[in-house]
Structure 1
């Protein structure tokens, strides 16, 4: 399984999401979109959303802090 969390430095929901993934022993890569505006543009193109966190799990997108949906995506 491959998970990538797109976040910003001051986003409390990003911290909550990363802590949730760590508690569930789910490994992930983190991409800080504040330091790379080009990646933010790619996110907007992929999901239509400007907010963070956005998590990509095996090609599926989960928008925001949504542990329930993350677990459903992982279990499929």
Structure 2
């Protein structure tokens, strides 16, 4: 798999950890953007996803909201 991901997270988000663990298990490199103290990143995220929640994961241009292992696996194998 030659994929990479960006995960938008918050420190108090247990689901964010689940997404990171899932990607780690498939050895998918990711960049983490914590939106807690970064209002500019949060505004950009809302502009892109139209959602106010984390985690939001972008895998090669495809957005996945929350922890959805089925969809993440599908995107990773596209």
Q: Same fold (TM over 0.5)?
A: yes
* TM-score computed with the length of structure 2 as normaliser: 0.92
Say if 2:4 and 2:28, in contact at 8 Å, map to a contact too. Answer: no
Size of the alignment, in residue pairs? 76
Q: Give unpaired runs (5+ residues) of structure 1.
A: none
Runs of 4+ in 1 over 6 A off after TM superposition: none
CA distance in 2, matches of 1:68, 1:26: 15
Name 2:11's counterpart in structure 1: 9
CA distance in 2, matches of 1:34, 1:58: 24
CA distance in 2, matches of 1:20, 1:10: 18
Encode CA deviations 1:41-73: one digit per residue, 9 max, x unaligned.
Answer: 111111110100000011110000111101111
Name 1:56's counterpart in structure 2: 58
* TM-score computed with the length of structure 1 as normaliser: 0.94
Name 1:42's counterpart in structure 2: 44
CA distance in 1, matches of 2:52, 2:27: 27
CA distance in 2, matches of 1:4, 1:12: 17
Q: Give unpaired runs (5+ residues) of structure 2.
A: none
Name 1:19's counterpart in structure 2: 21
